[in-house]
């Protein structure tokens, strides 16, 4: 299985101070040794940089970019940056409000790329919820 990590999963994987770090590390350990790969896209990488700064994990964008690069380079599973050419017309039908747009886009991108979206957020139909 190949996984598209949403922003929250990337953040929790990278920072020990994140409330869900242990939960994500347990999931990550459970897929080690499999033929799994991890994916990001421009949207999730930019989100990682933004949230890293907003949450106080990093003080500036270059530091957040360096942390993300280090995470990807040191991972025991390969990371791939996937292209994203999906427009708003590809949002899933369940998307009706503003709070669902990002998740819906990532879900559609994962499906279009033969990936499984992995998240910490409940309520994304078809996504894998790390419990």
CA–CA gap between residue 81 and residue 84 (Å, rounded) = 9
pLDDT band at 16 (very low <50, low <70, confident <90, very high): very high
pLDDT at 48 (0 to 100): 98
- 20, 120 Cβ separation under 8 angstroms: yes
pLDDT at 96 (0 to 100): 94
For residue range 112-128, list pLDDT tens digits in order: 999 999 999 998 999 99
CA–CA gap between residue 98 and residue 106 (Å, rounded) = 14
The tokens for 23 are 């939960």
Helices and strands in the chain: count of H runs, count of E runs? 5, 5
List the domain range (segments joined by +) for residue 89.
2-129
The tokens for 14 are 């990278």
Overall number of domains in the chain: 1
Residues 6+ apart with CB under 8 A from 67: 14, 15, 52, 57, 58
For residue range 52-100, list pLDDT tens digits in order: 999 999 999 999 999 999 999 999 999 999 999 999 999 999 999 999 9
User: What CATH number is associated with residue 10?
Assistant: 3.40.50.1010
For residue range 25-57, list pLDDT tens digits in order: 999 999 998 889 999 999 999 999 999 999 999
Q: What pTM was computed for the model?
A: 0.94
């Amino acid at each position: 299985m190949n996984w598209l990590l949403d922003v929250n999963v990337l953040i929790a994987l990278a920072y020990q101070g994140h409330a869900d770090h242990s939960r994500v590390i347990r999931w990550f350990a459970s897929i080690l040794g499999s033929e799994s790969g991890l994916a990001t896209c421009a949207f999730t990488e930019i989100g990682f940089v933004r949230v890293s700064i907003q949450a106080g994990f990093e003080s500036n964008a270059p530091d957040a970019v360096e942390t993300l690069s280090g995470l990807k380079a040191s991972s025991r599973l390969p990371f791939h940056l996937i292209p994203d050419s999906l427009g708003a017309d590809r949002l899933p039908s369940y998307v009706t409000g503003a709070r669902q747009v990002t998740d819906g886009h990532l879900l559609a991108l994962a499906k279009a790329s033969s990936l499984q979206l992995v998240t910490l957020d409940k309520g994304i139909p078809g996504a894998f919820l790390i419990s």
